[in-house]
Amino acid sequence: MTKALILGGTGWLSSRIARRLLDEGAAVTCLARGTRPVPPGATLVVGDRTGADPYAALDGEWDLVVDVSTSALQVARAVDELGDRAARWTFVSSVSVYADDETVGADESAPRHPSSRAEDADYGAQKAAAEDAVAALGDRALIVRPGLIVGKGDPSDRFGYWAAAFARAGERPVLVPPLAGRTAQIVDVDDLAAYVASSRAVDAVNAVGDSIPLADMLEIVRGAAGHTGGVREASEEWLRARSVEYWMGVRSLPLWLPADMTGFMTRRNERFLATGGALSPLDATAARVVADELVRGVDRPRRAGLSRAEEADLLAELGGRSRSLR
Ligand SMILES: NC(=O)c1ccc[n+]([C@@H]2O[C@H](COP(=O)([O-])OP(=O)(O)OC[C@H]3O[C@@H](n4cnc5c(N)ncnc54)[C@H](OP(=O)(O)O)[C@@H]3O)[C@@H](O)[C@H]2O)c1
C-alpha cells in the first residue's frame, strides 16, 4: 500500500490531494496544526511548522511526501528533516515564480524571480527558494507550478465571481474588462489534485490548462450560468479611475490583468499533458463552479469581484449598449 504524507492536507487543494490519494488506496497522514478536519480515512498528526519540533510525532517512511507551504523556511526545514525518509517529494509551487510575465508561451525553463527564504519576501521569491530546497532531492523531486486554480469551494472567489455575476444578472448586462488581446488560463482543482497524487514526473511542471481568449472563457462561464443578457465592456482607464482592481480582492474584476502581463495566462502545458496531466472540459469545470456559486450564494460577501450594487452603479455610469461576447 502506498504511504503518503501531506504537509498540510486540510486546506482547499491539499485536502483534495489527500482525498484523491485515499481514493487510490493510499494510507494518508496529514501534518497540520489541526484548525480544520482531515478527510475521512486520513490520519492527522498535529504539528506547527513554525514551532520547535513539528515533525517529532511522525513515524516511518513514505512513498510520497506532498508539501503545499508558501513559506520557504518551512519547506527547506521539512526537506532537511524528512527528505531521507521519502521516495518521492512533490512540492506545489506556482507560476508566480516566473520573473517574466510578458513573454507569450514560455515553458518551465523561463527565468524565475530571485529566490528568498526571508519570511517577509514576496510569494514568488519564497516559492522559488522553496523549489530550490526541494530540487536538492534530485530525481525524487517534482515541482508542480499551478496557474489559477478553480473549482468548488475556491476560497479566493476569483473564477467563481464570473459564475456568480452571470448567474445573478439573468437577462441584464454584465460588466466586463477590456477583452481584446486578453487571455485566460486555469486549472481545475480536481485535475490538479489527481496529477499531484499520481504523477511520477520529476523536475518542474506547469500545471495549467490551455490558454484561450478571455472572451471565450467568459462565454463558457456565461453559458454554464444560463445568462441571456449581453455584456458591457469598460476600458482599462475607466475602470482604474473608479478604483476597480485587477485580478483579485474586493472591488475587482477577476481574470483581468494589466495590459503588459501578456504572458501570465499563456504558460506552456506540454510537460503537464505528457506526464499524465488531464484537463477537464472547460464547460464541465464551469458547470461545477456555477453549481457551487448557487449553493454558496451569488450575493454573499466575496473575497474577489464586485458586489451586485457595485456592478449596478458602474453599469449605470458607463451607459452604452450591451453586446455579445463574441
Ligand atoms: N489558489 C490558486 O489559484 C493557486 C495558484 C497557484 C498555486 N497555489 C498554491 O496552492 C497551494 C494551496 O494549498 P491549500 O489550498 O491546501 O492551502 P491552504 O488552504 O492554505 O492550506 C494550508 C495547509 O497547511 C496547513 N498549515 C498552515 N500553516 C501551518 C503550520 N504553521 N504548521 C503546520 N501546518 C500548517 C493547514 O492546516 P492548519 O491551518 O490546520 O495548520 C492546511 O492543511 C499553495 O501552495 C498555493 O501557493 C494556489
Query: Which domains, ranges and CATH numbers included, belong to the chain?
Result: 3-146 (3.40.50.720), 150-185+211-263+281-318 (no CATH)
The preferred substitution site among 6, 58, 66, 69 for testing ligand 1, maximizing ligand atoms within 8 Å of CB, is 69
| pLDDT score, position 326 | 82
Q: Give me 3's grid cell.
A: 504511504
Would the pLDDT of 322 be above 90? Answer: yes
CA gap 261, 152 in Å, rounded: 27
Instruction: Give the ligand 1 atom nearest the CA of 158.
Output: 3
Could you tell me the distance, in angstroms and rounded to a whole number, from the CA of residue 111 to the centre of ligand 1?
A: 25
Would the pLDDT of 71 be above 90? Answer: yes
Across the range 193-199, mean pLDDT stands at 97
Q: Is the CB of 34 under 6 A from ligand 1?
A: yes
The preferred substitution site among 12, 13, 19, 190 for testing ligand 1, maximizing ligand atoms within 8 Å of CB, is 13
Return mean pLDDT, the chain: 98
Q: How confident is the model at residue 13 (pLDDT cuts 50, 70, 90)?
A: very high
Taking CA atoms only, the protein residue closest to ligand 1 atom 24 is 8
Could you tell me the distance, in angstroms and rounded to a whole number, from the CA of residue 226 to the centre of ligand 1?
A: 33
Instruction: Give the ligand 1 atom nearest the CA of 12.
Output: 15
| pLDDT score, position 293 | 98
- Mind listing the pLDDT tens digit for each residue in 14-32? 999 999 999 999 999 999 9
Could you tell me the distance, in angstroms and rounded to a whole number, from the CA of residue 14 to the centre of ligand 1?
A: 7
- Mind listing the pLDDT tens digit for each residue in 266-319? 999 999 999 999 999 999 999 999 999 999 999 999 999 999 999 999 999 999
* Nearest one of 188, 184, 190, 185 to 150, comparing CA atoms: 188
Could you tell me the distance, in angstroms and rounded to a whole number, from the CA of residue 33 to the centre of ligand 1?
A: 11
| pLDDT score, position 296 | 98
Give the C-alpha distances (Å, rounded to integers) separating 262 from 100, 237, 284.
10, 18, 26
CB distance 292 to 214 below 8 Å: no
Would the pLDDT of 95 be above 90? Answer: yes
For residue 57, the tally of other CB atoms under 10 A from its CB is 11
The H-assigned helical ranges of the chain are 12-23, 72-82, 123-135, 158-169, 189-198, 214-225, 236-241, 270-274, 282-296, 308-318
Q: Is the CB of 115 under 6 A from ligand 1?
A: no
Backbone phi, psi, residue 202, to 5°: -125, 170
The preferred substitution site among 48, 67, 92 for testing ligand 1, maximizing ligand atoms within 8 Å of CB, is 92
> Which residues, listed in sequence order, are joined to residue 27 by a DSSP beta bridge?
3
Q: In whole angstroms, what separates CA 225 from the centre of its chain?
A: 21
Q: Is the CB of 186 under 6 A from ligand 1?
A: no
| pLDDT score, position 58 | 98
| pLDDT score, position 112 | 98
Determine whether 140 is exposed, middle or buried from the number of CB atoms within 10 Å of its CB (0-12, 13-18, 19+): middle
Q: Is the CB of 285 under 6 A from ligand 1?
A: no
CA gap 30, 47 in Å, rounded: 10
Compute the half-sphere exposure of residue 111: CA atoms within 13 Å on the CB side of its CA: 7
Taking CA atoms only, the protein residue closest to ligand 1 atom 12 is 13
Q: Is the CB of 119 under 6 A from ligand 1?
A: no
